[in-house]
Structure 1
């Protein structure tokens, strides 16, 4: 589990096709000391995707992504030089500064626009129709692993306001209109929707 509070920005330094070219292995460079205390097999949130560290050293770590992961996330578009948001898994007693994030991407969205708004910028993201019912004004959503508060919603998009600090300490600052992003809906919204659907089924 994660909180959606990014603690470092990594960089892809190698991409190696595996599994007959259907899967891939990535090496991700990290800031000095960021991996201190990490164990082999640790879960690391990489721009919203929970991935397993299959190898690591002082300079970075390696992960493997299956064809399923590549087809349902933005990982298939990553190449050498791609900057990604990093967060290590939550430990009991850690501060929960964002919201509960599982690292299981629900769908791929798209940056629609970035517009100045007072001291921040209003970002608008398009999202898949299947996810729209789960995104609510003043609710939470994870965009590339970053916990954000939704400020506006339409039938096929939502808006958030990002302060300069957020774009400086995460890889969101590198995104431009048209770029894809990984989306994870709020876990609470998922369960509330399932409960309502179940009640409807039982009443039918």
Structure 2
């Protein structure tokens, strides 16, 4: 369980294909604090630490994860948003994030707005995921508030702190991102679908 409040950035140092799996080796400022079998959110994807060295750690993505996320497009040197699982009793500064990406989306536009930025993302509606105005959405693991909610797109406002401390500074029109829709909204949409 995560909050969508990014703790630090990780840099990809090695990518190794293993049948249908991919092993990603990364480095970050908190490597010394990590342990084997620990869950970490990488751009919103919950992955388990499977190996450690003094300066790096390794996680493995299976076929299912690769099909539903943007991990297959990661490259050495890429920057990834990183968050450790929340501790019981901590403040929930973002919203409840499971680390289970629902689907990818694509950045349609980035607009500068007097020191902040509006990012608009589009997504396929086949999975019946929805957003609502002022609801929560997770983009690349970042907990955000939806503005301008539409049937297959939404916008978010990014403040300078988030821009500088996450990989939002690298997102531009055409960038594919990981989306996790609000868990409460998903249950409501599912119940609605069952009644119709």
TM-score tier by shorter-chain length is over 0.9
Give the corresponding residue for 2:31. 35
1:108-147 Cα deviation digits (max 9, x unpaired): 1011111112331111011121356521110000000000
Shift of the alpha carbon at 1:36? 4.3
Distance 2:24 2:179 in 1: 21
> Is it true that 1:103 corresponds to 2:103 in the alignment?
no
CA distance change for structure 1 residues 73 and 94 in 2, over 3 Å: closer, same or farther? same
User: Structure 1 regions of 5+ residues with no counterpart?
Assistant: none
Distance 1:181 1:76 in 2: 12
Give the corresponding residue for 1:167. 163
> Is it true that 1:116 corresponds to 2:112 in the alignment?
yes
Distance 2:116 2:124 in 1: 26
Q: Is the 8 A contact 1:131 1:185 kept in 2?
A: no
> Is it true that 1:6 corresponds to 2:6 in the alignment?
yes
Structure exhibiting the larger radius of gyration computed from Cα positions: 1
1:129 to 125, 131, 144: 125
Superposition TM-score, scaled by structure 1 size:
0.91
Give the corresponding residue for 1:26. 24
Name the SS of the counterpart of 2:193 in structure 1: helix
RMSD, aligned CA = 1.4
Shift of the alpha carbon at 1:197? 3.0
Distance 2:82 2:123 in 1: 22
1:42-67 Cα deviation digits (max 9, x unpaired): 11000010001001234221011112
Shift of the alpha carbon at 1:102? 0.5
User: Structure 2 regions of 5+ residues with no counterpart?
Assistant: none
Superposition TM-score, scaled by structure 2 size:
0.95
Distance 1:23 1:191 in 2: 30
Number of residue pairs the alignment of both structures matches: 196
Distance 2:160 2:50 in 1: 34
Q: Is the 8 A contact 1:43 1:50 kept in 2?
A: yes
